[in-house]
């Protein structure tokens, strides 16, 4: 870098030597600062483009009932039915925070500082339930059929036979299996088979 103070000035008889005003930026040329700003912006642009392309190409292994893959952050079938969140009001459920189970519902995405693993319940109604999923669509044993507390055939024929919901009735064959924990109901049957 050339220091202008070291270059001798050739002055006429009636001219004064110009004085150098110190620069407020420490003497760094402005062009160097501009290069850093442009370089940083270019790197940031490349990072954003690469991130967007990787997000656009990622798909989840969870399939919707129509055969299309579910969005990347959508919940699996098990996560959908294990969550107590209302998927219409607060569809984002927190699964883990700092490696441990967390729980919790939110109308918007969780931040990484409050939830490390989350999923979106918005697509749960569209998930295909496998044909081999355990259900209450099985005959009741004689003890259940001869009992005094039997579920009604028409409105809710599926009866829980073991767990805290024992003697509970449901109109859906998956209510006591897929949609309920084992502590609530670990065994169930179809009371229409008692006749």
Q: Which residues contact 129 (CB under 8 A, 6 or more apart)?
A: 77, 174, 178
Average of per-residue pLDDT across 143-172: 91
Cβ atoms of residues 75 and 123 within 8 Å: yes
Q: How confident is the model at residue 11 (pLDDT cuts 50, 70, 90)?
A: low
| pLDDT surpassing 80 at residue 118 | yes
Strand, helix or coil for residue 6: helix
Asked if pLDDT for residue 131 goes beyond 80, the answer is yes
Residue 35 pLDDT > 80: no
């Amino acid at each position: 870098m050339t220091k202008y103070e070291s270059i001798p000035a050739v002055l006429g008889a009636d001219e004064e030597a110009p004085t150098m005003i110190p620069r407020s930026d420490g003497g760094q040329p402005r062009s160097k600062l501009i290069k850093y700003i442009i370089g940083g912006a270019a790197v940031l642009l490349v990072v954003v483009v690469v991130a967007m392309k990787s997000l656009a190409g990622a798909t989840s292994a969870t399939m919707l009932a129509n055969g299309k893959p579910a969005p990347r952050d959508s919940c699996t079938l098990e996560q959908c039915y294990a969550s107590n969140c209302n998927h219409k009001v607060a569809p984002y459920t927190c699964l883990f925070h700092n490696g441990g189970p967390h729980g919790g519902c939110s109308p918007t995405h969780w931040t990484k500082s409050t939830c490390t693993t989350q999923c979106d319940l918005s697509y749960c109604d569209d998930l295909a339930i496998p044909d081999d999923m355990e259900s209450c669509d099985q005959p009741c044993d004689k003890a259940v059929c001869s009992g005094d507390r039997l579920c009604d055939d028409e409105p809710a024929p599926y009866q829980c036979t073991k767990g805290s919901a024992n003697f509970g009735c449901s109109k859906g064959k998956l209510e006591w299996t897929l949609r309920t924990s084992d502590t609530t109901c670990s065994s169930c049957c179809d009371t229409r088979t008692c006749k």
